[in-house]
Structure 1
């Protein structure tokens, strides 16, 4: 709740895109009386920095961390991370657990409290590398040796068939036109210590499984829940870009979570 008594929801985007893609969700939530923020992470969306100027995962997450740091004392938010955004909200929770009423992992990577943050990313790569590498458009963006080896840019074929298969052609066209080079910051997260049970582990968590997700498939989403049990699991029959393909169902889901946990 913020100082005016409004429930506050922060929506965090995934790799290569930006806060813009929440527009079909943020608009009705605001109309329903919620305060909604959709920050662009560093070198994402309209943030002017190139990825070369964002050397660490914490630097990449800084806009979200700054937003939480600026909240008035006592204000607590519903923090929603989509896709790789789950990694960003995990760091934010570890740093500001007192400011998070509940964390929502929306078909998102979700680390645990026993392994390094990179663990879930490495497990994902082990099971999906050959499948994803078949999409030759998704390649490391390191031609000048200035970027992390885990930098990437999603190609049109991968986006259409694995991420946006239930979205409209217009939404896919918009997303392709706005994509930017991003990174998993894998090397950086491999040297970070596990998040603590006392901070990250103490915040209530909801995992929203998207059952038609071909990017982070349902089986892997449910494995992450088994690996790091949460307070509640919800389901939406949607692709990876649920906020574009099934916005109404996602809005209702987030309203239910906000009313229960905020």
Structure 2
């Protein structure tokens, strides 16, 4: 991993969250890595985590990934990162790999699909996607472009978060408030 010139190279991890999450979900891992001497950064993608952007106004991957692109653009010329994407964050990793090949030394897809550039990061995100039967029981879909269009956002209903996301986490984490995270409609043209 390139450093910033004359300094000893530092291994820098950059973490990208999945749906219904934000940078906050990496806090334990980033703390452990920093304590071990690594650099660790996590980002809130547009409309996720503490981002003030309404996820229903995010309609393309470049807009969704803008915070990640800004972070990678601001790195010193010789600095490279290990980019880690979870779940739908795999699509963001792929997009970043295409745009910042000289800034990424390794990409890790953690329970994420390795998708082709320009494709959707999940079968749930096709341009014709609508909530499948039974999915509205677990997920709350939002339709920023109208009910007759594909969903523009999704969040897991509170009563299912512990069961599906955090079933192996300590009980004190079960009250973690998940922020509504929009998923981007990767338009296939």
**TM-score (normalizing by structure 1):** 0.62
Query: Which 5+ residue runs of structure 1 have no aligned equivalent?
Result: 192-262
Change (3 A) 1:62 1:124: closer
Which residue number in structure 1 is paired with residue 170 of structure 2?
168
Which residue number in structure 1 is paired with residue 98 of structure 2?
94
Query: Which 5+ residue runs of structure 2 have no aligned equivalent?
Result: none
SS of the residue aligned with 2:163?
helix
Determine if contact 1:26/1:36 at 8 Å carries over to the other structure. yes
Structure 1: distance between partners of 2:187 and 2:37: 37
CA shift, 1:70, in A, is 1.1
- 1:40-66 deviations in Å (ceiling 9; x for gaps): 111111111111332322101000011
Structure 2: distance between partners of 1:18 and 1:48: 12
Structure 1: distance between partners of 2:123 and 2:151: 14
Structure 2: distance between partners of 1:158 and 1:32: 34
CA RMSD of aligned residues (A): 2.7
The structure with more helix, counted as a fraction of residues: 1
Determine if contact 2:94/2:116 at 8 Å carries over to the other structure. no
1:80 counterpart = 2:56: no
Determine if contact 1:54/1:60 at 8 Å carries over to the other structure. yes
Where do residues 12-161 of structure 1 align in structure 2 (5 Å cutoff)? 12-112=16-116, 116-118=118-120, 121-122=122-123, 129=132, 133=135, 136-142=137-143, 145=146, 149-161=151-163
Structure 2: distance between partners of 1:62 and 1:143: 20
Aligned residues: 181
CA shift, 1:123, in A, is 7.6
CA shift, 1:99, in A, is 0.9
